[in-house]
Structure 1
Amino acid sequence: MTNYTETIQSLPSEYPEQLTGKNREAFLDSGLTIIVLDDDPTGTQTIYDVPVLTIWGEKEIEAELSANTSLFFILTNSRSLIPENANRLAFEIGRNIKNASEKTGRKTLVISRGDSTLRGHYPNEVDALGEGLGIKNAPHILIPAFFEGGRVTIDDVHYVRDGENLIPAGKTPFAQDSSFGYRSSNLKDYVEEKTKGRIKASQVVSISLNDLREEGPEKVASVLKELQNGQVCIVNATAQSDLDVFSAGFYNAVKQGLKPVLFRTAASIVPSLAGLPLKLPLKRDQIETTGKGGVVAVGSYVPMTSKQLDYLKQHLPVEYIEIQAKKLLDESGFKTETKRVSAKINANLELDRIVVIYTSREVIKGKTADESLQIVNRVSAGVVAAVRGIKVRPRFFIAKGGITSSDILTKSFHVKKAKVLGQIIPGVPVWQLNDCKPFPALIYMPFPGNLGGDDAICKAILKFI
């Protein structure tokens, strides 16, 4: 393990010029609409005042482009799909974006937003997206940095911060994911691993911290202009200013005729490309709520989430309801268990209590990665059914875990379009669900499973007490 503070202090000084304003001007002058395809709902964790669509028909995309919406998200939840279905979906959305762009004359910059700990459908999802967009074999720009979550890339190695330790991503529990596991922490090796050797590590190029901090946007533009079809470019970053420099260089390259590229990134690059200043987490008086009590649904199984749940139980005396995951695997048990949980939630909300529901912490694995994913989705379906049975309006709803938060949003609440208001704590977005059928304008927080210290969920809940 590497010491975080010592490592950061040993790096070259950050680029001296503040570029947010210039990037905003360059972005607006470009006439581009940034469309972020989010493979789970947590990718809005760095932006604010933008719409999120949970449907992706050509008509809906065309409406946003016709309105000159400068930035919007499409929630695909593709991380919950098997590879073949994820590819099919990415191609379909890419084709719809292409058609809508041609009809409206509005150019687009499409970002495939993936997990900052490198889990997800890569490269197949991005390749399928490029084919749908009509830019097959476009270079990939790989930027997994997410600073609020302690994810940084140094010398092409991607790290996850744990207190004062920087742990190579390949040595974290995230790399052991039953569906999306990997071995490599060096992103050049990661690309070779994920492409099964189709792209060799030696063929991957990178933009270093020295490039960003000492040579600036001009160096970025020169690297981008030299990219060949099918090539991958890694961007190192430990601070938002690094991504601001990259973005400035990107827009310089666009002005100079840069050919289309495809982005596979975590959340931190989005505000830099849009030229949006970072915003402090929302205060309680900035969030308008109505209803009784609140609901926290915990579905994620990553160790970080389980530690946060344990901390919550020890420090916050609210109602806790465990959903027995094994009972959800057969039809009879599914109905009985979800009805029991719904009834307990309603009874507590009537008394204006906060309720934490959580799936039992034992991870149930299948014989294959696809079978494990099917079990995860079955358990998530149980959470969805329990939430669908809520009849009393809560003041707020926190959904912990990407698949959990997406499924509740679309299958329990049937939301098609939401608005991102900001963040409740760093890295945790706050959405207003204006078209939520059972509870219009519900305040909803899709909380990443892999984010925060032990007290993170507790901090978010305390904002509403």
Structure 2
Amino acid sequence: MPSSLEELVAQSPPAALVNSADISAGLSPDHVFVVLDDDPTGTQSVADLPVLTSWSVEALTWGLQQGRPAVYVLTNSRSLDPTEAERRNAEVAANAYQAAEGVGCTIEFVSRSDSTLRGHFPLEPRVLAQQVHRHTGVPVDGVILVPAFPDAGRITVDGVHYAGSAANGFTPVGDTEFAQDATFGYRSSDLRSWVEEKTGGETSASEVLTIDLATLRTDRESVVATLLQAASAQPIVVDIVDESDMRQLVLALHEARAAGRRFLHRVGPPFVRALIGQDPRQPLRATELNALNGETRTATRGGLVVVGSHVSSTTRQLDALRERHAPVELEIDIDQVRDGRREDHLSELARTTLAALSHGNVVIRTARTLVTGSDARDSLAIARTVSAAVVELVHRVIESITPRFVVAKGGITSSDVAAHGLGIERAFVRGPMLPGIVSLWEPMGGPVKGVPYVVFAGNVGGPEALADVVETLSR
């Protein structure tokens, strides 16, 4: 039975207002947070920051030269096996240090991952901690664990992480469908026990430092004292229910850093916004979208919606899109892309898509039933095979026509479509399409320069969210 928000916070004092200016005032203009985003949905809570799908020294140099307090690097590591994810994180970090030396700035790493706890943990923070020590000679003291994403109904109270909403209540995340993920499944909802589970007992629940909601909201001195206790990349779990809670934590982190402590951050999407003192941006309006590239938006009637996510919320959103807009809908057949019919299948889908875009919006989707393998590695291999077919189909389409817009639904789908299907290497995230969620990128070059590209996580938004976004883009 889900718990109401009132029940969960009944014993906690109300949140204290913290202005974003109080945070941004403490930032150095020569300090940049490099956000390693394990899929592109991490950008949905921020605005006007550079995004890279390439992590060469040249690309990172460009990102660090934009004069922004953070730069996102899309690693897409959630789609990789552990060995590849380890190698990619190490490569990004090493190149970031080389780029920072050339630009003349200092950097700090954020490992952005899923608000429902899916991803390579503890591997990714561990690799980054090793790189920090290797390149600076200074060890990481603590790893801040804040998967909370209040805008999407993910909160942490008494160390327990929840998913839900104010309207429908909150369920411990270990009891939700997200915990059954074929690759990154888990049992624990208490983040301390989750750390123990994910580290195979290497770090026990009792070794995890915790900052409870009452302390966070009323006693910064105690919060700082807890942060100062951290040693040897010790995990630190923090209760978070709203934006002000994250800002309270960031102010305490400023004090701990000033005292010489060094941290990594393993966090959900909105924490970066708090970290850099950025106010939530209002959803983008149709007039703002038209200003991105008016010529492209009038050249083609239809936009392209690519749906790869299999979670139930995505299926409900797809149903609502059908009901309201009746787009042409095409399915990539998993069996055909895994055998000798792949080429004929994709060619036919491309021809149909090109014809339909001349008249209106087109949905390209995977099957709504998730196909899994014999184990986590096999399941990931199947997912990557299907994703490769999606990417190739999108690439074939844009070789012949430029859609009015592109929406990609699902984390891995969004990443692969951006980097490989559309050839986006550098972009700016311009802001959300819905309050606090669903980001829009403006590509800075390549075949879809200026075309609105919408990154839409599979597990966020109400039933009408996808239809609302497509409606705004189609105006």
TM-score grouping bracket, smaller chain normalisation: over 0.9
Contact kept in structure 1, 2:142 and 2:264, CA below 8 Å: yes
What is the CA deviation profile of residues 313-364 of structure 1, one whole-angstrom value per residue up to 9, with x for unaligned ones?
Answer: 233322111221221112x22211211111111101112x011111111221
Q: CA deviation at 1:102?
A: 3.7
**Residue 209 (1) aligns with residue 200 (2):** no
**Residue 300 (1) aligns with residue 304 (2):** no
Q: CA deviation at 1:18?
A: 2.5
Query: Which whole-Å CA distance do the structure 1 matches of 2:352 and 2:14 have between them?
Result: 53
Q: CA deviation at 1:19?
A: 2.9
User: Residues 310 and 85 (structure 1 numbering): CA distance in 2 closer, same or farther, change over 3 Å?
Assistant: same
Query: Which whole-Å CA distance do the structure 2 matches of 1:93 and 1:406 have between them?
Result: 16
Which of 144, 156, 160 matches 1:157?
160
Q: CA deviation at 1:67?
A: 5.1
**Residue 310 (1) aligns with residue 319 (2):** yes
Aligned to 1:253: 256
> Which residue type is aligned with residue 270 of structure 1?
V
Contact kept in structure 1, 2:50 and 2:63, CA below 8 Å: no
Query: Which whole-Å CA distance do the structure 2 matches of 1:64 and 1:323 have between them?
Result: 35
User: Residues 415 and 168 (structure 1 numbering): CA distance in 2 closer, same or farther, change over 3 Å?
Assistant: same
Q: CA deviation at 1:13?
A: 3.5
Aligned to 2:123: 124
> Which residue type is aligned with residue 209 of structure 1?
L
> Which residue type is aligned with residue 3 of structure 2?
N
Contact kept in structure 2, 1:434 and 1:442, CA below 8 Å: no
Aligned to 2:384: 377
> Which residue type is aligned with residue 27 of structure 2?
F
User: Residues 164 and 294 (structure 1 numbering): CA distance in 2 closer, same or farther, change over 3 Å?
Assistant: same
206-215 vs 283-292, which moves further:
283-292
Contact kept in structure 2, 1:98 and 1:133, CA below 8 Å: no
Aligned to 2:438: 428
Query: Which whole-Å CA distance do the structure 2 matches of 1:104 and 1:444 have between them?
Result: 29
Contact kept in structure 2, 1:422 and 1:429, CA below 8 Å: yes
Q: CA deviation at 1:66?
A: 4.7
Contact kept in structure 2, 1:93 and 1:129, CA below 8 Å: no
Q: Equivalent residues in 2 for 1:35-54 (5 A)? A: 35-54=34-53
Contact kept in structure 2, 1:68 and 1:106, CA below 8 Å: no
Q: CA deviation at 1:213?
A: 1.0
User: Residues 306 and 138 (structure 1 numbering): CA distance in 2 closer, same or farther, change over 3 Å?
Assistant: same
Q: CA deviation at 1:172?
A: 0.6
Query: Which whole-Å CA distance do the structure 2 matches of 1:453 and 1:367 have between them?
Result: 32
**Residue 333 (1) aligns with residue 348 (2):** no
156-165 vs 393-402, which moves further:
156-165
Paired residue secondary structure (1:442): coil
User: Residues 67 and 350 (structure 1 numbering): CA distance in 2 closer, same or farther, change over 3 Å?
Assistant: closer
94-103 vs 287-296, which moves further:
94-103
- Taking only aligned residues, the RMSD between alpha carbons, in angstroms, comes to 1.7
453-462 vs 110-119, which moves further:
453-462
Query: Which whole-Å CA distance do the structure 2 matches of 1:65 and 1:396 have between them?
Result: 28
Which of 417, 421, 425 matches 2:426?
417
**Residue 240 (1) aligns with residue 243 (2):** yes
Q: CA deviation at 1:242?
A: 0.1
Query: Which whole-Å CA distance do the structure 2 matches of 1:72 and 1:398 have between them?
Result: 22
Contact kept in structure 1, 2:8 and 2:157, CA below 8 Å: no
Paired residue secondary structure (1:3): coil
Query: Which whole-Å CA distance do the structure 2 matches of 1:58 and 1:396 have between them?
Result: 30
What is the CA deviation profile of residues 111-168 of structure 1, one whole-angstrom value per residue up to 9, with x for unaligned ones?
Answer: 0000000000000111112212326664211000111211000000000015422010
**Residue 345 (1) aligns with residue 345 (2):** no
Query: Which whole-Å CA distance do the structure 1 matches of 2:415 and 2:26 have between them?
Result: 33
Q: Equivalent residues in 2 for 1:435-454 (5 A)? A: 435-437=445-447, 439-454=448-463
> Which residue type is aligned with residue 446 of structure 2?
C
Contact kept in structure 1, 2:443 and 2:450, CA below 8 Å: yes
What is the CA deviation profile of residues 428-458 of structure 1, one whole-angstrom value per residue up to 9, with x for unaligned ones?
Answer: 0001112132x32110001001111111111
Aligned to 1:171: 175
> Which residue type is aligned with residue 345 of structure 1?
T
Contact kept in structure 1, 2:50 and 2:66, CA below 8 Å: no
**Residue 194 (1) aligns with residue 198 (2):** yes
Query: Which whole-Å CA distance do the structure 2 matches of 1:155 and 1:54 have between them?
Result: 37
Aligned to 2:77: 78
Query: Which whole-Å CA distance do the structure 1 matches of 2:4 and 2:197 have between them?
Result: 27
User: Residues 433 and 62 (structure 1 numbering): CA distance in 2 closer, same or farther, change over 3 Å?
Assistant: closer
Contact kept in structure 1, 2:430 and 2:441, CA below 8 Å: yes
Query: Which whole-Å CA distance do the structure 1 matches of 2:63 and 2:9 have between them?
Result: 43
In structure 2, list runs of 5 or more residues that go unmatched: none
How high is the TM-score relative to the length of structure 2? 0.93
Q: CA deviation at 1:236?
A: 0.8
**Residue 356 (1) aligns with residue 370 (2):** no
61-70 vs 299-308, which moves further:
61-70
Aligned to 1:90: 89
What is the CA deviation profile of residues 258-313 of structure 1, one whole-angstrom value per residue up to 9, with x for unaligned ones?
Answer: 2x211100011111110011111111111125132111110111222122222322
> Which residue type is aligned with residue 83 of structure 1?
P
Paired residue secondary structure (2:402): coil
- What count of residue pairs does the alignment treat as equivalent? 459
How high is the TM-score relative to the length of structure 1? 0.95
> Which residue type is aligned with residue 346 of structure 1?
L
Query: Which whole-Å CA distance do the structure 1 matches of 2:63 and 2:421 have between them?
Result: 25
Contact kept in structure 2, 1:93 and 1:132, CA below 8 Å: no
What is the CA deviation profile of residues 395-450 of structure 1, one whole-angstrom value per residue up to 9, with x for unaligned ones?
Answer: 1110001111111111111111011110111310001112132x321100010011
> Which residue type is aligned with residue 60 of structure 2?
I
Query: Which whole-Å CA distance do the structure 2 matches of 1:249 and 1:137 have between them?
Result: 17
Aligned to 1:133: 132
What is the CA deviation profile of residues 185-216 of structure 1, one whole-angstrom value per residue up to 9, with x for unaligned ones?
Answer: 00000000000000000010111111111113
Q: Equivalent residues in 2 for 1:259-298 (5 A)? A: 260-288=262-290, 289=294, 290=297, 291-298=300-307
Query: Which whole-Å CA distance do the structure 1 matches of 2:228 and 2:383 have between them?
Result: 42
Query: Which whole-Å CA distance do the structure 1 matches of 2:361 and 2:308 have between them?
Result: 17
User: Residues 197 and 5 (structure 1 numbering): CA distance in 2 closer, same or farther, change over 3 Å?
Assistant: closer
Q: CA deviation at 1:27?
A: 1.7
Contact kept in structure 2, 1:191 and 1:201, CA below 8 Å: yes
Contact kept in structure 1, 2:51 and 2:73, CA below 8 Å: yes
In structure 1, list runs of 5 or more residues that go unmatched: none
User: Residues 181 and 256 (structure 1 numbering): CA distance in 2 closer, same or farther, change over 3 Å?
Assistant: same
